[in-house]
Structure 1
Amino acid sequence: MPTLLHLNGPSGVGKSTLARAHAAAHPGTLLCDIDELRSWVSGWEDDFVGTGEAVRASALALMTAYLRTGRDVVLPQLIVTPAQVERFETTAAEAGATYVGVVLDVAPEVLLERLHSREVTPVTAVVSRIIEERGGDELVLEGRRQLLDLALEQGWAVVETSNKEPALAALAHAVRP
């Protein structure tokens, strides 16, 4: 049975990095990075949230179609509301796949260091601008707390990301226990 592996976590925790590594270690896995898809839409920088919602609908259709081929999808996507999570769970179910939600975590000081030192790309530049406009480091740390609460509510594994190899092993185990 195919799996939709949703890597959830605050900005800077390593979602994209671990998603790329997980996909590389599992040939045939689709890496569906909604933030990258968002950057394919003209004007996305000025309407990050609106473009994200429009692209998310397209990504759900893409993931459904791909999961129906019997192959896995890894989704690095920050989601803090249960209603949004439900959309991804429904997508997996409609495709005959298993949904596995995981919250990635790291100590607050490590998270902030990673966030501030990550490579600047068009997407990370816009995300950093939005974070600063909406509260900076405190916003990121509050989001981290909300995600840990969400993991508890949803019964998801929390994977510590300070060391890449054990984190990847934990993800592989979450998908195929």
Structure 2
Amino acid sequence: MKTVKLLDREFRVSIPAEKIDKAITEMAEKMNKDLAGKNPMFICILNGSFMFASDLMKQITVENAEITFMRLTSYEGMGTTGKVKKLMGFTEDLKDRTVVILEDIIDTGITMENTLAQIEEYKAKEILVATMLFKPDALKRDIKIDYVGLDIPNDFIVGRGLDYDGIGRNLPDVYTVID
């Protein structure tokens, strides 16, 4: 079993990169069909979603697709603070556009609920949500997720853009904390 030590914690591989790549490819294929002719604007939620967004966008073949970035934070250490802070917004016009929010992981749904509320103010034609990873057992908000890469257990994970106090985002696999 492949393990890694990050700061004061040990983690073991729980999702190999190949499985994540396959899920992202399947998501891109579905999006390419669903978004054809819609001139979509993808919004990557930083920092965690940068790897997911990069992997996905390489496979998006929809004409006139664009991407922008929004930086939010709600985590400290291994837990959510329950409060979402916007650290960086975007300047693109979303009025009457199809918007696809790209998130690395949806667990409680608090960050996504906040993000949706902010983006609704821009009068988009439709707002879709895509997440690389989803923790259905952790969800506390009533949000619609249009595209899910993989459902996972309610464990603390790192890798593939997800971090532990800023460390571990660069790992190509996803790792679960060892208690």
- Name whichever structure is richer in helix by fraction: 1
TM-score of the superposed pair, with normalisation by structure 1: 0.36
TM-score of the superposed pair, with normalisation by structure 2: 0.36
- Name whichever structure is richer in strand by fraction: 2
